[in-house]
Structure 1
Amino acid sequence: MLKNIQKIKGLGVYSDYTKPAGTQDFAVKNLIYGWNYSGKTSLSRLFSLIEAKQSNPDLAGCAFTFETTSGLVTEANFDKSPLIVRVFNSDFIAKNLNFAGGGFEPILLLGADSETAQKEIDRCEAMTKRAIQRSQESKVQSDSLEKSLRDAKTSEAAKIKKNLALVAAYTATHFQADIVTVQLFDESQLLSADSYQADLKLALTSDQDRPTKVDEVSLSLELNSLYADIKAVMAKTPSLATTIDNLVKNPLIERWVESGLPIHKDKEICEFCGNTLDEHRLAELKAHFSKDLSDHKKMIDALLVRVQNAIINFSMPTEAELNAKFRARFKAGQNIAKAAISEYNDAIKALAADLKRKMDSPFVVADPGPITDTLELNVRESLNEINQAIRSHNLIVDNFLTEKNASIARLKKHFVQQFLDAFNMESQNAKLARLERNIKKFDWCSQKLQAEVLKLKAIISKAQQGREEINQRLETLMGAEGVQINVIKVGDQERFQLVRRDGAIAKHLSEGEKTAIAFAFFLTKLKELKPEELKVAIVYIDDPISSLDSNHIFQVTAMIKEAFFHQEREGGPWTTRCGQTFFSTHNFEFFSLLRELNPQKENLAKHFLVRRIAPNKSSFGNMPNSMFRYSSEYHFLFDVLHQFQKAPDKTEFNVLMLLPNAVRRFVELYTFSKYPGARGLTVDQRADRIFGPEKSKRILKVLHYFSHANNIERLAENNELIFDIEAAVNELINTIRTTDPLHMEALEAAVAQA
């Protein structure tokens, strides 16, 4: 059993902590209160070190001394300590749970290997087997009926396609779409004998008596873009750094030399004149035909291919393909197009000739021959005239097809109606629906039976037993619709996984859900300890109510009471189920609820306060009497103010570190008690109404400055402003004493009694 903490060094805010004189020893129930960032979690991590009995890199360099009933536990011997410690804090949550949908280590609890449970499992599994079998039988019947209908629809679709001589695809899918359409009509879609014959004759009319549709003419024109690219290339020259002037001035000789160079590779005698090859001269020639020149010629070659491909060479529709009344317009457009295309192609050929000249004289800068800007436009406009004639022609063709298509559509509906009548589709659909209901019913039964089997196996399976325990706690905290734990198989091992009530993997959990799940998991995991181990275990719980509302705080308190505190006999003394418990929190309501739990006697329950007294220093000691005596945070805050006002040395840091936030919180509670319904008002607005604008500003201005998150650093850097704090506190207390004397008398009396 732990007696006290004698010292802590190098642990976060406990840079150099020594147990203050008069600090009481730990009891079986220990409550620790402290505001955020005061050092509660750091304290829990020190307990975790003893739990793990191995070094933690995050706590490297930390030194500590615990006094226990069996000796001292320090950083040098903690790994050999016989103490059994279990800690709930943020590190426990991060280590043990997976909130992203994956599996995590299960809680293994001993179950009762019940013969009755096994018999019930056998019965449920037999019923599950029958339900699955009946579901499969219904599925076979449903599949058979659906296949019969699919085959009939496929056959009918093929018959319709053949009877109507349809060119376009008409499959069972199209037929099903027509069935849906026909079923929307109230009246039958069967045609009379005369209507049927008339529509069938029109549907089967040969197309030879009408013109066919003609495709419009479309061309890709590149003249203008090619001209710009060619102009840019002809303005470029390869690097002249190593060129031979004679070759530059004589392109024919240059090409001759360039073609001869590869022949003389590794040769010593000239193949042309028979003389000895001069190595220096060969080097000069090779340098002349540089990579830059080679790349330049490749660029010209690639551009020449584009130019040659840009020649317009295609077959236009003939006049005979068009309706007679559009042929004249088509002919006129065709003549214009031929002339425009001819000019366009001539310009392309001229550009090709310019490129070839550039190829022959790569070092000569020149411009391509000029082209008319409107050549592309002329071609497009002439093609547009041709396409206008084609579109007019196609419109007539479309009108002709409209009537024919209308007759085909009516015939399709007629054949679909015949099919529906012959197959009595209404009866077939009812049968399919009945089979589908049977499948769902049997599947639901098998799922319920399988769920029952899981519950029964929980009596036998350690993981399932742990699942049941934690799920009961989760239901208490979050209700019947909350998150649950499921047992899954990963290889040969059982794992836990978070799931919603519908079976979906639980992801994107709220912070409140995470807290509830983690605490339920921790309480259940304690049951892995053997009874004799739990009886001597030390349990430290750090803020288990984070992100939970007031209702859940009561539920968590009830769970703690049930898990840790009990009476060995009716009317007997209360004690803990484990060796010692430690609870740390920043929530005063939760602290008060825990304080009310038995045991409450001083020898069994002790109360401590953690507070920040310097930027890297916290104090851990006895809880002030005012805070212990009253359930109200309000009395404690006033006690802080009262101590400061009475303190002879106002610069003493252990008072100043609490003061700014304490005064601000005190003003919030006091002003709200005066205006309990004014939830929309800020603390400044309520203070203005009570103290008046001028006094309100004097009281709150400096406290606003120091009560921000970095108040410790600000206090350390602004010692000269301490007098402003003292003035603000005096102003506040004197104002309340003047305007609300009965209230002040009651507060001072409460502090004096404490």
Structure 2
Amino acid sequence: MTKIIKIKEIGNFSIFKNFHWDQNLDIGNNKTYDFKDINIFYGRNYSGKTSLSKIIRSLEKQDTPPKYDNPNFKIELSDNSIISHNSLATFTHPIHVYNSDFVKENLKFIHDENANIESFSVTLGGDNQQILDRIHELNAELGLNEENIKSGVFLDIQNKENEVKNATEDHKSKERDLEKLLTDKATRNSDSVKNQHSLFGDINYNVTKLKNEIAEVQSSNFQILTDDQLITKKALISQNELPNPPELSTYNLNFSQLVEVTTKILKTVVGGSNKIGELQNNPSLNSWVQTGHTLHKDRTHCAFCTNEISAKRHQELAQHFDLETQNLQTRITKGIEHLTNLINGEHFKINFNIDHYYQQYHTELLPLKVELTTILEKQKEVLEQLKTLLANKNGHLFTSLETSYPPDHTDEIKKVIEKIEKIRTQCIQQTDLLTNQQKEAKKDLRLNHVYHFLQDINYTQQNLDINSALQAIEPLKIALSTLQTRKTEITVEIKNEEDKLKSEGEACTRINDILNHDFGHQALSLQAIENPHAQNIYFEIQRNGCKAHNLSEGEQSLISFCYFLAKIQDDLDKGNKPIIWIDDPISSLDSNHIFFIFSLIEEKICKDKKYSQLFISTHNLEFLKYLRRITGAEQDRSIGFVKEENRKASYYLIQRHDNFSTIKEMPLYLSKFLTEFNFLFDQIYKCATVNQIDDSNFHIFYNFGNNARKFLEIYTFYKFPSSKYQLDTQLKAFWGEQIYKTLTDRIHNEYSHMTGVLERGEIISEQPEMQKSAKAIISKVQQEDPAQYNALLESISNPN
């Protein structure tokens, strides 16, 4: 069950500024004097009682009262949660607050007789609002529904219907505009898809097909055509059927075999003992001599120098250029001739004409043609290098040559040829597939055309605009439906409210039962009056059977509080355990009616404890005296201390200090006995027993003169209640000794007056005689009447 523990902070609310509960209501041991089930506040008028009730009423209304600048407060609940001025809606426990705002809202006739007593309508168990005011509010909200004059909800409905109509037309207009663009592109314009059927391939094209293809081109898988693809596909469309392309020449050059033959030749060495060393070591000279030897086989003299060639020299040269040498040279010559024949042979004449292929393959074949030519030339260069190696061997017949061979391009050549052959195969197959491929090419061109059309008309944005226009309609329709529902609700509520006006019996009975009580106000009553013009019932306060005018403040308070009790009775009877806050229900009431109000609270609210918490504030000391007897605070009525854990009621004092107020724990002399006599005894007792004067107790001495004089006046008057009472005489009788009377009288009189002792006003009062006087008074009371003395001690919570 939710309860209010404390008003933790009041930063700003009317007379309360920067109030902190934990600072002002600290009772030690890290505890504070918090709210209990029953909580009583006492404060003079204008001290801030109503301001506190308005803070709590904010929980009931879930809103702060109007005309309060920057209200700021925090309320701590029993579950340790905090409700602030910004989170009032989170408080859901039933709560009822009786204060001036409640009276103004529910009983307007009290403050404005011209408002008509109709505004005082009571429907217990319902919303408990002013029915006729509510009907007026509802009719004002509903407004007029004349042909040329509309207002309220009727005008709002008319305006919203126009907004729905305009939004619907805007949406349809955008749809029509886009539909026209699509239809023109599909069939109507000269550049429509249908009119370009030779290119796009569908003479029966229409807007439905266009919409289907729009969805296709907007797919994430769709790819627009490149410029090369456009050229290729257009060429494919215009392509006629071709014969099969010629086969390519076969490339079967065995390069590894050529390398092997060349290697053997390079490693062959001509040698022996009959060789001429000078020629062996000089290849150029050897070649020159070999040529000369051939030319001089049958000569005896050198044709160059005419010197004789001896038979021996002929023999030496014949042995040097023997058959072995000739065989090697023959091998070299044949090898070079073979390589030359290969270079000039069919192996390197592989070629093809791309015109024998369909146009769609030209883009792929052109780089292959260039690549094949390049690789063949590279392979020729490799064979030329082999020829060079053999030619070089001719000059090194007598040594073995080591060399590294250039790379073979045979695999590259074959790969290119394979690619070309693959395309050739496709081209041959293309003849059979050409019709279908041309159909696909036309579709690709058509989709590509549709894609660019969508970009040109900003199709995506147009659809967004259409969707936005469509989405704008639904909220307007919902708002219109809400208004129409509200119109129905208002009509039904008006009917219900009018019906409520006719169910006045229970309300009148409850309030009249209270007013007609023996201790109530039997002259006043609540009567239901039928209004023949409005066909409803209103309520009238009557005095002795006639309409009551000029109600006194006491009558107003009584009627208002009776209405409040009648209003909350259902909540109490249903066991909802509401929180109840009653702010100062006593105003200009005599003692009988003050006790009557207390009795109503006791009987209707407290007797069976139908509440979860009860808060009551008052400025009336007599009413405060009664409140101490309320059911549920029994332990607080006992004399002496009550343990904090056993305390069921809390008593608070609201004090105003110039422009701000604060909340404090109520002094015991107010919460327990409610007399100034107890307070004065408390001050004198503290003065008599204090051990050291400091800032916390200096006021006891400063006010001692007044307090002691007033206490003795009260004490001696009740002790000697003579009509000829004279304080001087009674003090003599009280003290019994003149010296006590003289000394104490000087202290009491001098320190409660400044006349004649002006110089004493210039210094701070701190006289040891004050404590002596206080001890004397306490001792005298104890001697004179021990029972009364002990009772006074208990009243200030100092039992001995």
Which structure has more relative contact order (CA 8 Å, sep 6+)? It is 1
Question: Does the alignment reach a TM-score above 0.5?
Answer: no
TM-score range (shorter-chain normalised) is 0.3 to 0.5
- Normalising by the residue count of structure 1, what TM-score does the alignment of the two structures yield? 0.41
- Normalising by the residue count of structure 2, what TM-score does the alignment of the two structures yield? 0.39
